[in-house]
Amino acid sequence: MTTARVLEVVPFVSPDAYETGRTVRAAHGVDLANLANFAALGHPSQVLHFGKILDEGTYSAYFTPLPGVVDYLVLAGWLQFKIYDTGATCNLTIKVYDLSGNSYSAPAPFDGTFEFRPGRDVPRNDAATSIQGIFSVDAMVAAGLDTSDDSWRFEVDVNYTVPYVPLVGPHIILDGLTVFELPRRTVNTADPYGVLPGAFLPLAPIVDVGQVQGVLKALEGAYNSSLRTYLSLAVSEENGALYTTQGAVDGSLDNLEETGTTPITFWCRPRYLRGTTSRFRFQVRYKVNGDDAEVKITTAAGSYTITLVDSGGAWADSTVGTGYFTCTGPGDTDSMVVTGSAVAGACTLSAITVWEYPE
């Protein structure tokens, strides 16, 4: 294992420097290595946004695990009092699950035992109200989570000692809760992506084919690993305003309607890589009883459905669906709407995540 720092700036490198007939210099390789490393390791983009949490209970969001590329997940939250109450505290239990149900349980203070509480009369977004946690992806792998899975589920269980009741008395809430991937600061030859810039020495012949392959490999990593989360919706499984349908025909979901039965339109700017479309994955947390149900995402490129297998009324993770946004060049935006149907009874969703899946 050999390491080097990721150069966290983007130097100006002209294509003219790589013209046919020019003398190859060490800087040519060094520049390419630095650019490729920063593109691959310095720009992780998955963001699990739970937003403001008024209701206690279990919240979920999905992401693609990227061990060896992303080493840490960062949790950031903010607490607020409506009216100060010395007894009002919040505790969080964090778990991560793979598709087979193997789980990682975060250590203290995220094991449900620690009571978070901000100071009195602290303004919004003040550092004194914040909660920070850093979770090691290696620890999740060590706990037995399958790194070959298409997705893992990040679960937050929120408990308040004085819960929120609209218009009533003192209480505490999480003003915001977000989980994001921490960029890498080092290149490590033991990891799948990254090349040592120092391998390109002045006056030294390029004898190791791995040097040049390392640049191309790092660019593969930049292509495959900087995944955008396009939609991350989560409500409390126990107490939230769940996304529900009872219709046998595809239609809008309760609590995801703009007006009447018109579903809410969600906008995004897909990462443009090549071609005329941008591929995404989507997955939901659901329960249905009596028969299968369906959830559908419609974009400008088409409609994409996943079948929600009868879960007997218990919460379950859906299979991972695949779809496309229309995206013909940098700067294009697309939109999506989420609809569903249930053959028998109600189909209920507590989490919907849509995230990038490069092809």
Binding residues for other proteins restricted to 21-80, rule: CB under 8 A: 21-22, 24, 28, 32, 35-36, 38-39, 42-43, 45, 47, 49, 51-52, 54, 71-72, 74, 76, 80
Answer for which of 113, 258, 312, 322 binds other proteins (CB under 8 A) is 258
Binding string, residues 98-117; x marks residues near other proteins by CB under 8 A = --------------------
Contact 348, 287 (CB under 8 A): yes
User: CA–CA separation, 137 vs 181, rounded Å?
Assistant: 10
Compute the least distance from the CB of residue 20 to other proteins, in Å. 4
Stretch that binds other proteins, among 105-113, 263-271, 291-299, 302-310 (CB under 8 A): 263-271
Answer for which of 167, 203, 249, 314 binds other proteins (CB under 8 A) is 167
Answer for which of 7, 141, 264, 343 binds other proteins (CB under 8 A) is 264
Considering only CA atoms, which of 83, 161, 90 is closest in space to residue 121? 83
Binding string, residues 308-327; x marks residues near other proteins by CB under 8 A = --------------------
For 244, the 3-state DSSP assignment is strand
Q: Does 83 bind other proteins (CB under 8 A)?
A: no
Phi, psi of 42 (to 5 degrees): -100, 5
Two tokens at 80?
């607020």
Compute the least distance from the CB of residue 310 to other proteins, in Å. 27
Within 10 angstroms of residue 252's Cβ, the number of other Cβ atoms is: 21
- How does DSSP classify residue 129? G
User: CA–CA separation, 242 vs 26, rounded Å?
Assistant: 58
Contact 341, 245 (CB under 8 A): yes
104 or 266: CB nearest other proteins = 266
Answer for which of 125, 147, 303, 319 binds other proteins (CB under 8 A) is 125
124 or 203: CB nearest other proteins = 124
Binding string, residues 267-306; x marks residues near other proteins by CB under 8 A = xxx-xxxx--------------------------------
Q: Which residues of 264-285 are buried (b: 16+ CB within 10 A; e: fewer)?
A: bebebebbbeeeebbbbbbbbb
Considering only CA atoms, which of 237, 224, 234, 241 is closest in space to residue 281? 224
Q: Does 192 bind other proteins (CB under 8 A)?
A: no
Cis peptide before 118 (omega within 30 of 0): no
Compute the least distance from the CB of residue 65 to other proteins, in Å. 17
Which stretches does DSSP call E strand in 167-292? 172-181, 186-188, 229-234, 243-245, 251-252, 257-259, 262-263, 266-268, 277-288
Answer for which of 93, 102, 130, 239 binds other proteins (CB under 8 A) is 130
216 or 248: CB nearest other proteins = 216
Stretch that binds other proteins, among 15-23, 104-112, 291-299, 310-318 (CB under 8 A): 15-23
